[in-house]
């Protein structure tokens, strides 16, 4: 355990499997306090994780991150119980096998990988400002290198679906573009914002449809490194990589240029509007109705 990290707290979304699970293990092994925001629980056969939960070093909040009501409830619990967040790892996501929509009616990749990271960043901003590192790392993907045509207006309700190179890739690109746009503004407030490509990792899970084309699944199964590889890249970007431009897209430890940069501002405005109109707006409306029902 590194003493310098004993008072550091990381929040990891999607922490119960794949890269998020390996990142959680790495953080715990180095003495971090870890807040996990997951839909599912941790492996019961991992005694170290179970012991970390019993000790309170690992604290778990459960939520379906594609459902705003579930997110709102978990965030409220987290805000009430936690003192600070040094690093927010917005890592939740994945490749889905078919066109699917969130409870709010938007394409599931877009909701989970583009919109919700913005909501969590904004809702947890006060906790970040109480931390020391004040860093946010978004898990991006090099899959968007295969995007030849990018139409932001189709992100919410695409007319067609392709595994990996369709909504998964375009929504990772959208996340990375709004990160680049917002990064300098948050830097002025003291918050460091990055998007990081974790590279290729074997994140296949027994009994779960990977949502990948068969040739990619074959390569992943036999040739890709374990998810600890991607976890290390996210970790190093958060604590070891300095001098990166605000909002940078980081691949193989270095900032990389992005195509379609002209869409960054419009995507940022889109996710901001969803946060204000549907996430905050729905909460205000519910509070008003509750007040009226109580007769106050």
Q: For the chain, first and last CA: distance in Å?
A: 53
Is 61 a residue whose pLDDT tops 50? Answer: yes
Q: What length is written for the chain?
A: 296
Is 45 a residue whose pLDDT tops 80? Answer: yes
Task: Provide the pLDDT for residue 182.
Answer: 98
With left for phi above 0 and alpha for psi between -120 and 50, is residue 164 left, alpha or beta?
left
Report the alpha-carbon distance of residue 175 to residue 110 in Å, rounded. 9
What's the whole-number average pLDDT of the chain?
Answer: 92
Is 291 a residue whose pLDDT tops 50? Answer: no
Task: Provide the pLDDT for residue 198.
Answer: 96
Question: What does the pLDDT average to over 252-281?
Answer: 96
Report the alpha-carbon distance of residue 50 to residue 35 in Å, rounded. 14
Task: Provide the pLDDT for residue 52.
Answer: 97
What's the pTM value of the predicted model, to 2 decimals? 0.92
Confidence class for position 131, pLDDT limits 50, 70, 90: very high
Q: Which of 237, 133, 247, 234 is nearest to 190 (CA)?
A: 133
Domain count, the chain: 1
Both tokens of 241, joined, read 């990589």
SS3 of 57, please?
coil
Going through 157-294 in order, the beta strands assigned E by DSSP cover 192-197, 249-251, 254-256
Q: Please, are residues 19 and 139 in contact by the beta-carbon 8 Å criterion?
A: yes
Q: DSSP string covering 35-90, please?
A: EEEESS---TT-HHHHHHHHHTSEEEEE--TT-HHHHHHHHHHHHHH----SEEEE
> Sign of torsion, CA 72 73 77 78?
negative
Name the pairing type of β-strands 249-251 and 254-256.
Answer: antiparallel
For 288, the domain range is: 3-294
Instruction: List the CATH number of the domain containing 157.
Output: 3.40.50.720
């Amino acid at each position: 355990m590194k003493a310098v990290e004993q008072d550091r707290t990381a929040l990891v979304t999607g922490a119960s499997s794949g890269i998020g699970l390996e990142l959680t293990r790495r953080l715990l092994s180095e003495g971090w306090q870890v807040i996990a925001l997951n839909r599912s629980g941790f492996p019961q056969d991992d005694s170290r994780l179970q012991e970390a939960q019993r000790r309170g070093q690992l604290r778990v909040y459960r939520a379906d991150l594609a459902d705003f009501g579930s997110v709102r409830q978990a965030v409220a619990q987290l805000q009430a119980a936690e003192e600070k967040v040094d690093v927010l790892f917005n890592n939740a996501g994945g490749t889905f096998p078919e066109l699917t929509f969130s409870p709010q009616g938007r394409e599931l990749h877009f909701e989970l990988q583009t919109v919700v990271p913005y909501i969590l960043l904004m809702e947890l901003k006060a906790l970040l400002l109480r931390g020391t590192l004040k860093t946010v790392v978004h898990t991006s993907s090099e899959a968007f290198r295969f995007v030849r045509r990018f139409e932001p207006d189709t992100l919410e309700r695409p007319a067609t679906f392709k595994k990996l190179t369709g909504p998964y890739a375009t929504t990772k690109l959208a996340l990375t573009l709004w990160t680049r746009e917002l990064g300098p503004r948050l830097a002025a407030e003291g918050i460091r914002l990055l998007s990081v490509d974790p590279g290729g990792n074997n994140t296949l899970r027994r009994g779960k449809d990977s949502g990948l084309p068969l040739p990619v699944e074959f390569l992943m199964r036999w040739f890709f490194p374990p998810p600890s590889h991607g976890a290390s890249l996210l970790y190093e970007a958060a604590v070891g990589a300095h001098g990166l431009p605000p909002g940078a897209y980081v691949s193989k430890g270095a900032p990389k240029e992005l195509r379609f940069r002209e869409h960054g501002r419009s995507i940022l405005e889109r996710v901001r509007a969803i946060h204000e109109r549907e996430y905050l707006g729905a909460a205000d409306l519910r509070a008003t109705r509750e007040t009226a029902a109580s007769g106050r």
